[in-house]
Amino acid sequence: MLAPEPFFEPRGTPFSEYHRIKALGELGYAVDLVTYPFGRDVTLRNLRIVRCARPPLVEGVKVGPSATKLLLDGLLA
């Protein structure tokens, strides 16, 4: 699963991803989540979080479009 935002942070899309991953894990599916290098690690059944590299001088991302997100999206590929 690809999450082009910080995971986990307590806001809309990460909440949705959390519950989808939880449901998949409970059904026995293994989930590899590829995401930004920011956010809090969570423990869910059958979840492995893979974070892309953090570019120098980038400390986080804000909600909404940004040049930083474009850079991080490229690192997810």
The predicted structure's pLDDT at residue 10: 94
pTM beyond cutoff 0.85 = yes
How do residues 12-60 score in pLDDT, each as one tens digit?
999 999 999 999 999 999 999 999 999 999 999 999 999 999 999 999 9
Identify the pLDDT of residue 18.
Answer: 98
Which residue, 63, 69, 60, is CA-closest to 39? 60
- pLDDT at residue 31, as a whole number: 99
Q: Which of 74, 58, 59, 67 is nearest to 4 (CA)?
A: 74
